[in-house]
């Protein structure tokens, strides 16, 4: 009985991971950055999250040069100072590196990028589990549905 549950949980987690990476690939396929900024949340934080997501999804590769502050600000339709604040935070966190007058590049620290991927996946999974629990579903219900959906695809 316990072995069956462990196997179901394993497949559930495995499916969530595959779904997460599938969604990241879909986002990467998008040629243009989409800046869907919401006035209800701090703009610089949304920009920071967007660029960080582009880094962990592989849109920006380790060592790749980022567009300039003005170019990014124009693309996002924000003030360059707002963009600068987001980039400064990302640099402080280690996701980008400033090369003086040569601009900024994405970190080559793959461990940092993988750690952030894991943190985001964990957050998505925890939110999913909390939501289904609040709706009266069990982990087994979720595991069964994921297995069923996986069989369909």
Alpha carbon distance 28, 49 (integer Å): 15
- State the CB neighbour count (10 A cutoff) for residue 128: 12
Q: Tens of pLDDT along 103-122?
A: 999 999 999 999 999 999 99
pLDDT at 30: 46
| pLDDT surpasses 70 at 1 | no
For residue 64, give the H/E element and its range. Answer: none
Return the CA Rg of the chain: 19
Q: Tens of pLDDT along 7-47?
A: 777 777 877 777 676 676 655 544 445 788 888 899 999 99
Alpha carbon distance 112, 118 (integer Å): 10
Could you write out the three-class secondary structure of 78-123? Answer: CCHHHHHHHHHHHHHHCCEEECHHHCEEECCCHHHHHHHHHHHHHH
Tell me the percentage of the chain whose pLDDT exceeds 70: 89
Of 2-6, 15-19, 61-65, 108-112, least confident by mean pLDDT is: 2-6
Helix-, strand-, coil-residue percentages of the chain, each rounded to 5: 70, 5, 25
Angle between helices 110-134 and 43-57 (to 10 degrees): 110
pLDDT at 22: 67
Residue among 9, 25, 17 at smallest CA distance from 118: 17
pLDDT at 145: 86
């Amino acid at each position: 009985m316990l072995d069956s549950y462990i196997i179901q949980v394993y497949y559930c987690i495995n499916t969530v991971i595959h779904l997460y990476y599938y969604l990241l690939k879909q986002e990467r396929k998008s040629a243009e950055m989409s800046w869907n900024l919401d006035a209800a949340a701090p703009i610089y934080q949304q920009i920071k999250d967007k660029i960080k997501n582009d880094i962990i999804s592989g849109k920006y590769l380790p060592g790749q040069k980022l567009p300039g502050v003005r170019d990014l600000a124009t693309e996002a339709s924000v003030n360059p100072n707002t963009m600068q604040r987001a980039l400064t935070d990302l640099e402080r966190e280690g996701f980008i590196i400033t090369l003086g007058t040569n601009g900024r590049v994405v970190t080559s620290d793959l461990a940092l990028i993988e750690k952030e991927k894991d943190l985001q996946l964990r957050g998505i999974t925890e939110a999913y589990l909390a939501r289904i629990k609040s709706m009266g579903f069990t982990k087994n219900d979720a595991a069964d549905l994921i297995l069923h959906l996986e069989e369909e695809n």
